[in-house]
Amino acid sequence: MITETIISSLSKALEDLGVSSSPTQINLEQPANKDHGDWSSNVALATAKTAGWVPRELAMKIAEMINSDLPSGVESVSVAGPGFINFAVSPEWLHHVLQVAIEQGTTEFGKTDIGHGKKVNVEFVSANPTGPLHAGHARGACYGDSIANILQAVGFDVQREFYVNDRGLQMSLFAESLLAFKSGSSVPENGYGGAYVEEWSREMPNGLSIQGALDWGCKYAIDDQRQTLEMIGIVFDSWFSERSMVDSGAIEKTMADLENNNASYLEDGATWLKSSDYGDDKDRVLVKSDGEFTYLTPDVAYHRDKFSRADWLINVWGADHHGYIARMKAAMEALGHEAEQLTVTITQLVKLVRSGEEVRLSKRHGDIIELREIVEEIGPDATRFMYLLQSVDTKQTFDLDLAASKVMDNPVFYVQMAHARIRSIQNKAETLGIWPSRSSDADLSLLEHERELEILRNLFNFSDIVQLSARELAPHKIAVWLRELATSVHGFYHDCYVVGETVTPELTAARLQLVEAARIGLVSGLDLLGVSAPDSM
């Protein structure tokens, strides 16, 4: 990769100048101003002070040294501002990226093997089997599945897992609520009184016991949740039952391991985890004085089980679980795992808006807004793309009217339209008999128009964006990249003819290669987000 080449040249220049640096100080990012090149480094700003240099003077010296022996693919090195070192990639290298995209196609473009087959367990959604998935589950669902896609694309062995909380008080209340609706009696205190419970109870067989209603309701809820997730293309590898884990004796084994590791103690008749020894703000109760497990205990056993199956655990939790992170990391450290082996992403709340007003109630039931309703209203592609537009650690406003509209202000329509426009160009070329055969030997050096180079620069960035998204668990970076590529495609579509009397056959052949590479980029990026690339809109 050219970024590795650039970083290597920066490292060598610093070494030759006797300036010490750490790997974290030598990084690259894309400059906000496109006139400043394709990549920029602030390494001179980061290292100058300790080395006794003025940052801009150090940057100028580094640029001079690299310009004297330019690395492959770099056209020039310049300095901007107080000491940013900017790199411009050569057109020849951009043309090479085009060829790579076409050779690799939609199945391989942008993929790498930085994961080296490391096993990753991505647990997300994990809603209680006490009802349908609602709008609050949607963001984590789209995020978790896209993270799994991205990690697979960079070489990790990924398992998607849904943890089924199929035991405990909430399940008992759910079963009692189903039976109450079935018999026409009052719902128990703190029970489930939603309209969907009444609907489901009509499907439930007569004469069930509490346990029978619990088993039936749990299966019905899981089937409903599974079907809803499949509507947006999410299929889990594992639906892990809490009840089966408890029945296996995993909790007792976990408690024994904690005791053997001197990580738990008895006090006032309760068993406590020494979580404060591992970074938590206080110790946590595992077993109450009445002998009942707390909510934490089966979760610790569950994570212990996951570590027996994976090297790296990723949990996608809602905003109300933030305080739970430290105690879970503490428990894993107490069991002998590194805290860094458990990554928890917290998804912030999303406000649904229709006609400028916040949507709080379901049209169908008058209570919770089901995820199924959102998908039926705006479609699976819009659902996924809109939820992935922003970093999940920020609150989001989701405009349902915009998501359902076929206008260029709709981000998913905008990106998919770019793909459709490319397909219209290719269809026209096919009818003329000039695609794809005449394009295979195209002279790519003819691609000099700024609109053409914009597409190439975006394609050039794709592999790095995918890796960055994987490292930071940030699928919104793919969404941002797709919108940038779509912008360059729309600009090209308006300003550059591909087929026609005003274009030479040689330029037509080169531009047909260009739009095919752009199409591959769009399909590849959308696929990582679980979004389709229609041929027409």
Computed from CA positions of residues 36, 42, 44, 48, in that sequence, does the dihedral angle turn out positive or negative? positive
Q: Hey, what are 168's tokens?
A: 């405990």
CA distance 85 to 266: 59
AA letter at 223: D
Give the global pTM: 0.92
Residue 365 has a pLDDT of: 53
Specify the pLDDT at position 152: 99
Q: Please report which helix (H) or strand (E) contains residue 88, including its range.
A: strand 84-89
Residue 25: which pLDDT band, with cuts at 50, 70 and 90? confident
Element (H, E) at 264: strand 264-267
DSSP 438: G
Cα–Cα separations (whole angstroms), residue 88 to 9, 480, 514: 14, 22, 20
How do strand 270-273 and strand 284-287 relate by DSSP bridges? antiparallel
Predicted confidence band at 29 (pLDDT cuts at 50, 70, 90)? confident
- Per-residue tokens: 333: 């450290």
The arithmetic mean of pLDDT across residues 394-416, rounded, is 97
**Whose CA is closest to 158, among 125, 115, 127, 126?**
115
pLDDT mean over 420-444: 88
> What does the DSSP assignment read for 328-351?
HHHHHHHTT--GGGEEEEEEPPEE
- Residue entry with tokens 């590791």: 261
Q: How far from each other are the two terminal CA atoms of the chain, in whole angstroms?
A: 35
Locate 271 and state its tokens: 């068993």
Q: Give the pLDDT mean for 31-50.
A: 88
Q: What is the pLDDT of residue 366?
A: 52
Q: At what angle do helices 371-378 and 380-387 cross, to 10 degrees?
A: 110
Structure confidence at residue 234 (pLDDT) = 99
**Contact by Cβ (8 Å): 359, 367:** no
Q: What is the pLDDT of residues 114-129, one digit of tens each?
A: 999 999 999 999 999 9
pLDDT at 28: 86
Distance CA 54, CA 121 (A): 47
Nearest-CA neighbor of 91 among 109, 73, 104, 103?
Answer: 73
* Dist. CA 497–CA 52, nearest whole Å: 54
DSSP assignments along 182-226, one per residue: HHT-PPPTT----HHHHHHHHHSPTT--HHHHHHHHHHHHHHHHH
Q: Are 255 and 287 in contact (CB under 8 A)?
A: yes
Residue 72, pLDDT score: 85
Mean pLDDT for 401-414 is: 97
Residue 364's nearest CA partner among 229, 194, 222, 193 is 194
Span 503-507, mean pLDDT? 94
| pLDDT for 401 | 95
* Closest by Cα among 381, 312, 364, 376 to 340: 312
Answer yes or no: is pLDDT of 172 > 60: yes
What percent of the chain has pLDDT above 70? 98
Answer yes or no: is pLDDT of 221 > 80: yes
Arithmetic mean of pLDDT, 128-147? 96
Does residue 212 register a pLDDT over 80?
Answer: yes
Q: Which whole number is the average pLDDT over 185-197?
A: 91
The 8 Å CB, 24+ separation contacts for 351-354 are: 351/395, 351/396, 351/397, 351/398, 352/135, 352/398, 352/400, 353/397, 353/398, 353/399, 353/400, 353/401, 354/399, 354/400, 354/401
Quick one: pLDDT at residue 363? 54
C-beta atoms surrounding 121 within 10 Å = 25
Instruction: Retrieve residue 331's tokens.
Output: 């428990």
Question: What pLDDT is recorded for position 81?
Answer: 92
Instruction: Please tell me the distance from the alpha carbon of residue 147 to that of residue 139, in angstroms, as a whole number.
Output: 12
Catalogue all structural domains in the chain, each as residue range(s) with its CATH number: 2-89 (3.30.1360.70), 95-112+408-528 (1.10.730.10), 124-247+355-404 (3.40.50.620), 248-347 (no CATH)
How many residues are listed for the chain in this entry? 537
527: left (phi over 0), alpha (psi -120 to 50) or beta: alpha
pLDDT for the residue 533: 98
Asked whether residue 529 carries a pLDDT value surpassing 60, the answer given is yes
Measured CA to CA, the distance from residue 258 to residue 251 in angstroms comes to: 11
**423, burial (CB in 10 Å: exposed 0-12, middle 13-18, buried 19+):** middle
d(CA 204, CA 494): 59
More reliable by pLDDT, 240 or 440: 240
The pLDDT tens digits of the residues spanning 359-375 come to: 876 555 556 899 999 99
Q: Given this model, what pLDDT does residue 438 score?
A: 60
Mean pLDDT of 362-390: 88
Burial of 416 (0-12, 13-18, 19+ CB in 10 A): buried
